[in-house]
Amino acid sequence: MNVPIQGDLPEQLMMLLTTLILVVQLMMVPQRTLTGNINLFGIQSLLLAGVAATVAYFHQAGHVWFVVALIVGGKVIALPWFLKRLVRRININQDLKPSLNSPTAMLLCGIFTLVGYLVARPFAGKALVINSTFGIAIALMLMGFFLMINRRTAITQVLALLCAENGLFLAAIALTTYGMPLVVELGIFFDLFIAVLVLGILVYRIRETFASIDVERLNQLKG
């Protein structure tokens, strides 16, 4: 039987973990090395697993432990390993110059964070921990979509998509307390896993054809 989180400890732990998730996301904005971005994504996913574990433990939601294992095995271990292996194979570790410089991008991400908190307020009411978690979740999704547009390297665009999905899962945690249904999370996770594999092959093919991983080079394929 599930019981609600009670006491200051779980609330403080949730707020700490979600704040750290936001900090890691902001650290990815000026990061220019591919392995650095991959490492930050792994750390963010580990913190997300900590949020899910907090919910599973204090709510006695046994099925959420499976999601914790899925996040750790997939997003903390498997996907970073695959992407790092891809970086070594293409022998390019430096991200291309983004469309917007780092100060402008950080300013926009700060605005996204503010928008997230403003949007979350009507849903959370007076519950500070829900307001904080849901606000950060919205900010993560907005930043993820922004980085997909701002970055030109295929691998960093993949990481931006994965960070946006982390925000989606965090939003489900905030709104429903127990997270989205397991079958939905499994479906989203495996869809993203297949997408990463396909994009990994695409990155390698771009590197072989153009000696670069700039996705704008694909415009040269137009006949």
Helix (H, G, I), strand (E, B) or coil at 61: coil
Domain housing 13: 8-221
Q: Which two tokens stand for residue 64?
A: 């959420």
Backbone dihedral region of 91: left (phi > 0), alpha (psi from -120 to 50 degrees) or beta? left
Which residues, including other chains, have CB under 8 Å from residue 177's CB and lie 6 or more apart?
4, 5, 55, 59
Q: Does residue 2 fall inside a structural domain?
A: no
CB contact at 8 A, 117 and 135: yes
Q: What is the per-residue pLDDT across 2-39, written as a single tens digit (0 to 9) for each?
A: 444 445 777 888 889 999 999 999 999 988 888 999 99
DSSP string, 156-189: HHHHHHHHHHHHHHHHHHHHHSS-S-HHHHHHHH
Nearest to 61 by CA among 47, 71, 51: 51
Q: Does residue 127 fall inside a structural domain?
A: yes
Domains contained in the chain, number: 1
Q: Does residue 3 fall inside a structural domain?
A: no
Whether residue 177 has pLDDT greater than 70: no
Q: Does residue 1 fall inside a structural domain?
A: no
Q: Does residue 118 fall inside a structural domain?
A: yes
Q: What is the per-residue pLDDT across 113-155, written as a single tens digit (0 to 9) for each?
A: 999 888 887 765 555 666 788 889 899 999 998 988 888 777 7
Q: Does residue 206 fall inside a structural domain?
A: yes
Q: Does residue 211 fall inside a structural domain?
A: yes
> Residue 47: its pLDDT value, please?
95
Whether residue 210 has pLDDT greater than 50: no
pTM of the model: 0.80
Which residues, including other chains, have CB under 8 Å from residue 117's CB and lie 6 or more apart?
131, 132, 135, 139
CB contact at 8 A, 103 and 109: no
The whole-angstrom separation of Cα 5 and Cα 59 is: 6
Tell me how long the chain is. Answer: 223
